Amino acid sequence: MQQKKAVVIIPTYNERENIRSLIPVLFEVFQDVPKHFDMHILVVDDSSPDETGKEVLVLSEKHGNVHLLTNPKKAGLGAAYLRGMDEAFGKMQADVVFEFDADFSHDPKKIPEFLSKIDEGYDFVLGSRYIPGGSIPANWGFHRKFLSVVGNLFINVVLTTFAIRDWTTGYRAITKRVYEAVNGEMQSERFSGYTFQIGFLHKAVRKGFKVAEVPFHFVDRTLGKSKLGGEYVKNTLLYIIKVRMQEIFAMRIFKFAVVGFIGFTINTIGLFLFSRMEWVTSAADFIRNMTGLGFVNTSGLASSLGAECAIVSNFIWNNLWTFKDRKLKSPLEIVPKFLQFNLSSFGAVLIQLVVVGTGTSITGTATLSKLSWLILATAIGMVVNFIIYSKIIWKEKKA
């Protein structure tokens, strides 16, 4: 196996007693780690008033693989991790880092299991409380259990990522590849507590990195105080919703739907206005007399004019927004494509005629059944149009 360097990053704020007993325990675990891993500990202390830093400094002078980074003041968990990762993947040239709490909540004996997942090729390993073999403390109050369980469920539902069971866990192993892909975006956002963990993992998942989960029993701290509390619940909720909205707004199908809705509105207003215009009536009369087509009348012509306005609007906005990455630019492209676009819109009208016509001939023409068929026909028409737009009119350009 290729030699790899692993750095266990431990952010601390007032963890003097914990860190004193934790570091020797980690040394013991390091004995059980495969020899091709060079194991290090990096404590990121925010100048803890209880002098956690001094404790670590003493140990670092004795052991070459214990390191201390000191922040001048308390800046939160996310900032501590970003600083720690910068040091670990930068100066220390690590291949993989751990996120690890100082308070013994994270079972250190699981470290070898994380590393074997890394050896298997996973990019991101989570210590999970919500897969078989993992748990949250039985003595947690209902409130805390509820928040953790429902919180994770909520994240999965909103982000539609059911493969991950424990989003908020702070016990993780992260490879350099993930860090390099995600770090830039992390720097430009402000994170607090759990949103850092969720945000980091979410960006990695969306970039397609392979995530594995290792079960562990989360143990409540016995020494010192927890720094993360209820205030983070609201932030987390808002963060997830914000992120998901941004994702949806960026989707082509969403833009297509918005453009379609604008078109529908234009169509309706157009019909209303055109049917009140004198010249439309004269034009309808003129066309009827010239062509002998008896069905041409004011409302028919007004509705066609309204539809054409909507088609023009749809074409423009889809070109400038929905398919802006495949934008049609020269008139030589635009003219034939606009004609195809008209044909495709006309196709949707035909689909409507056929579906509503056949449908109501089966179920009768009561308002409710008519409306149901209309909704179905519109849905089919939209799907067909979306396919035609993406595969024909705004076909992906081969590079």
State yes or no: residue 15 binds ligand GDP (CB under 6 A): yes
- Residues 140-179: x where in contact with Mg ion by CB under 5 A, - otherwise, as a string: ----------------------------------------
- Residues 100-129: x where in contact with Mg ion by CB under 5 A, - otherwise, as a string: -x-x-x------------------------
Q: Which long-range contacts (CB under 8 A, 24 or more apart) does 301-304 make?
A: 301/274, 302/270, 302/271, 302/273, 302/274, 302/275, 302/277, 303/271, 303/274, 303/275
> What does 80 bind: ligand GDP, Mg ion, none (CB cut-off 5 to 8 Å by kind)?
ligand GDP
> What does 244 bind: ligand GDP, Mg ion, none (CB cut-off 5 to 8 Å by kind)?
none
**What gap in Å lies between CA 97 and CA 115, rounded to an integer?**
10
134 touches 168 (CB < 8 A) = no
Please pick, from the candidates 76, 108, 263, 270, the single residue that binds ligand GDP as defined by CB under 6 A. 76
**What gap in Å lies between CA 58 and CA 20, rounded to an integer?**
10
Nearer to Mg ion, 13 or 373 (CB): 13
- Residue 298: partners with Cβ closer than 8 Å, 6 or more residues away: 275, 280, 281, 284
Taking CB under 6 A as the binding criterion, the range among 98-106, 125-133, 279-287, 296-304 that sits at the site for ligand GDP is 98-106
List the interface residues with Mg ion, window 82-101 (CB under 5 A).
101
164 touches 106 (CB < 8 A) = no
State the greatest distance between any 2 C-alpha atoms of the chain, in Å, as a whole number: 103
Size of the site for Mg ion (CB under 5 A): 3
Q: What does R_g of the chain's alpha carbons equal in angstroms?
A: 31
List the interface residues with ligand GDP, window 189-248 (CB under 6 A).
221, 226-228
Q: What are the residues binding ligand GDP (CB under 6 A)?
A: 11-13, 15, 44-46, 74, 76-77, 80, 101-103, 105, 170, 221, 226-228
Q: What are the residues binding Mg ion (CB under 5 A)?
A: 101, 103, 105
